[in-house]
Amino acid sequence: MKTKLYRSILTIMMALLLIGAFVVGTTPNADASFILRIFDGATTKIVIDDQLAGVTSSGGGYVSNFADINSPSPGNILYSGGFGNWTIIVTTGLSKNVMDPGTMHLNNVSATSMAGGTLYVDITDTDFVNPSYHPGLRLDVGGTTAGTVSVASFLDATNAEFGIGSAGPSLSFSATPFSGTTSSGITPPTGIPYSLTMTSVITHSGKGTTSFDAELTVVPEPGTILLLGLGLVGLAGYGWRKKRKQS
């Protein structure tokens, strides 16, 4: 009896592993056009996979004029420095985590001098293609601020860097500490690559520090969750029936 139960458990585990391998296998290279852009109204910094890059003006905005750079840590971005009234800017970004390929993550710590100011911190990544994900984006944000913080998200079906084709969930805060979660039912295109972008605006009226963490997630398909849940329920039921027969 125990041998049959173990075989059933092994079969279910192998099936789940195969599903996971398919999901990861359908996700493009994690470092495809993953870009960080920081702007204080006068100076723009562009970072591509831990490399400072040149910028070019395009349509009133700034995009990279460097091809994507394969750094030692693809899918990770880091900027540490300061310029203008912003004496400290430490920003990290993550995209397409191997265990959750539909996720972008932005973390920022920024401090101003007495003059204060407004800082724009944005990340974007292209080539999101994953048929195992359901229409919908979820945004989670939390942190502390000496002023105001707003975070917005966008999905662009043309797969453009910093594309704003469809507005996703957004959150704004003026109290500290803060946290919030919101969702939006955007429909990603089927079978073709699209881009995701997170934008943030930090405003200080004087000297102060803001620190926040934001995560944008493509919501898992309900059918996938249901399949996993049914498998676990079925396994539990199988074990209960075997135990009952033995007793």
User: Token match 């919501």: residue?
Assistant: 219
Residue 89 has pLDDT above 90, yes or no: yes
pTM of the model: 0.72
C-alpha 83/C-alpha 42 separation (Å) is 10
Q: pLDDT tens-digit profile of 16-39?
A: 444 443 333 333 333 356 889 999
The pLDDT value recorded for residue 51 is 56
| Range with lowest mean pLDDT among 26-35, 73-82, 123-132 | 26-35
Contacts of 28 (CB under 8 A, 6+ apart): 96, 127, 128, 129, 193
* Domain total of the chain: 1
What is the pLDDT confidence band of residue 227, given thresholds at 50, 70 and 90? very low
What is the pLDDT confidence band of residue 243, given thresholds at 50, 70 and 90? low
The pLDDT value recorded for residue 133 is 60
Burial class (CB in 10 A: 0-12, 13-18, 19+), 46: buried
Q: Are 144 and 178 in contact (CB under 8 A)?
A: yes
* Residue 106, H or E segment: strand 100-112
Residue 153 has pLDDT above 60, yes or no: yes
The pLDDT value recorded for residue 129 is 78
Residue 165 has pLDDT above 50, yes or no: yes
More confident residue, 124 or 133: 124
Which domain, by its residues, includes 158?
2-246
pLDDT above 90 covers a percentage of the chain that reads 37
Q: pLDDT tens-digit profile of 175-197?
A: 899 999 999 878 777 778 889 99
Q: Are 73 and 80 in contact (CB under 8 A)?
A: no
| Range with lowest mean pLDDT among 136-150, 173-187, 196-210 | 173-187
